[in-house]
Structure 1
Amino acid sequence: MINLDKISLDKETILNATEEIIRRFGPDKANITDVAKLLKVSHAAIYRYYNGKTDLWNAVTERWLTRLHAPSNNILKEDSPADVKLSNLLESFVEAKHHSAINDPEMFANYIKLAQRSMEVIKKGIEEGINSIEKVIVQGITEGIFFTESPYQEARSVYLATSVFIHPNTFEDPDRKQNIESVINLLIKGLKNSN
């Protein structure tokens, strides 16, 4: 709950209030006026920070994706061989949304709706994921573990091959964990194959 005593308006405060409003009303019914009322500021005050509802909803979605992928960024900093790091990174990618859906199903459903409208934000998130995988593949090439002449293209293929597991339709599959491990192992074997 937002503390309204002597509130200092900034982007973070607005995003927190927007999340609370989206939680209450859902992304379709929530609006900037609701956010302004919660913060006890004028509608125009929100516009000093965000250029309309789409801009604000995109910022909320982007922040959610950033939080979701924070563990992945920590994996990139690990001091481990590229094959281990890639396996950990891919598992982190595919499990992040699954954990969000389990831990906060209401907000997860709202964010899925928001994400469908925030294609530029989603494209940026996908590109960041591909770039993270590419970094690990380049590390693997340097270590002599992975063999490829086009790390970016391989990273894109790896991302696409595992992206099926981030879809909510896969969350209830009893074989999900085993399927994820099988796909990741197959991809890593392919990167290690020098032929």
Structure 2
Amino acid sequence: MEKIALNKEIILNATEEVIRRFGPDKANITDVAKSLKVSHAAIYRYYNGKTALWNAVTERWLTNLHAPSNDILKEDSPADIKLFHLLKEFAEAKHRSAINEPEMFANYIKLARSSMEVIEKSIEDGINCIKEIIVQGVKEGIFFTKFPHQAARAVYFATSVFFHPNSLEDPDRIQNLESVVNLLIRGLKNPNK
């Protein structure tokens, strides 16, 4: 019998705790159910198996990780400044997570490797944020491109090396990121301005 009222948020919170305790490879739905004092069948009412649950945990982590990006999109700044801030935030978000919660960061990296559809959605969300700023820049007459989505993809992939966990240890990472971003912004700028 269920001892508590379940919902997806409660299950995700419990799953994160179980993953912290056992790691993503050893943790399972039975562990989550035990921590909530419910049957594993109760969890299956919300998530169709371990993969779905682990994907939901990874998606929530990525959403929380990139939440500050939404504030940057709302900034009252010219597009070139906003784009610089956004790309720097993309790089710094994972760095902060690695420093503030190293065990969870390591766990999420493992989870992310097996959650390709979640990762692909996160990448597309990032590209769409960049596209929104590029469209703003075109309207402001700062950027020149006929294909904002293609330009956004190019900007994302040109800077994605700085978002990757392997880059976090590079002492010149921020300086290199800023150099690349400045180069990309110059490439997007309208030559008539």
TM-score by length of 2: 0.96
Q: Specify which of 66, 89, 92 is matched with residue 89 of structure 2.
A: 92
Is residue 2:38 matched to residue 1:41?
yes
Aligned residue in 2 for 1:18: 15
Q: Specify which of 122, 125, 135 is matched with residue 125 of structure 1.
A: 122
Query: Cα distance, 1:172 vs. partner?
Result: 1.2
Aligned residue in 1 for 2:64: 67
SS across alignment from 1:172: coil
Distance 1:85 1:152 in 2: 17
Aligned residue in 2 for 1:163: 160
Distance 2:22 2:89 in 1: 30
Unaligned residue ranges in structure 1 (runs of 5+): 1-5
Distance 1:169 1:93 in 2: 14
CA RMSD of aligned residues (A): 1.0
Q: Specify which of 41, 48, 51 is matched with residue 48 of structure 2.
A: 51
* More deviation, 93-102/13-22: 93-102
Distance 2:183 2:6 in 1: 50
Aligned residues: 190
* More deviation, 115-124/168-177: 168-177
Q: Specify which of 142, 145, 149 is matched with residue 145 of structure 1.
A: 142
Distance 1:59 1:52 in 2: 11
Q: Which stretches of structure 1, 4 residues or longer, exceed 4 Å deviation after superposition?
A: none
Distance 2:136 2:103 in 1: 39
Name the % identity: 78
Distance 1:8 1:81 in 2: 47
Is residue 2:178 matched to residue 1:191?
no
SS across alignment from 2:23: helix
Q: Specify which of 26, 31, 44 is matched with residue 29 of structure 1.
A: 26
TM-score by length of 1: 0.95
